[in-house]
Amino acid sequence: MSALLNTTGVARRSAKITPAIDIHSLPDDALVRRELVLQLFGYSRTTLWRRIRAKQFPPAIEDGGIKGWTAGQIRAALATRHAQAHG
């Protein structure tokens, strides 16, 4: 993260910007990191954690020391969310 100066002249960290990724173009086994999941669902980290704990969202998996979700899991969760929202 790069440092930016705010209006008081104190350095602060800039937000990470994740490039736009079409989740539907990824192979099912592609690993999707937390920041993209948060953007796709509009969740905060706390909300994501709570939904995982309540079994309303699949838990992250670990692959080679990297945690995330497969694109297939994310697509299924998006479809479930869409179905619930649209009856």
Where do the domains of the chain lie? 25-85
Nearest residue to 72 via CA among 27, 37, 34, 39:
27
pTM over 0.75: no
Return the pLDDT at 21. Answer: 79
Domain 25-85 falls in which CATH fold?
Multidrug-efflux Transporter Regulator; Chain: A; Domain 2 (1.10.1660)
Return the pLDDT at 59. Answer: 97
First to last CA, the chain: 41
CA 64 to chain centre: 19
- Do residues 14 and 1 lie in contact, with contact meaning Cβ atoms separated by under 8 Å? yes
Beta bridge partners of 67: 62
For residue 82, the number of C-alpha atoms closer than 13 Å in the C-beta half-sphere is: 7
pLDDT digits (tens, 9 = 90+) for 4-33: 444 455 555 545 555 577 888 999 999 999
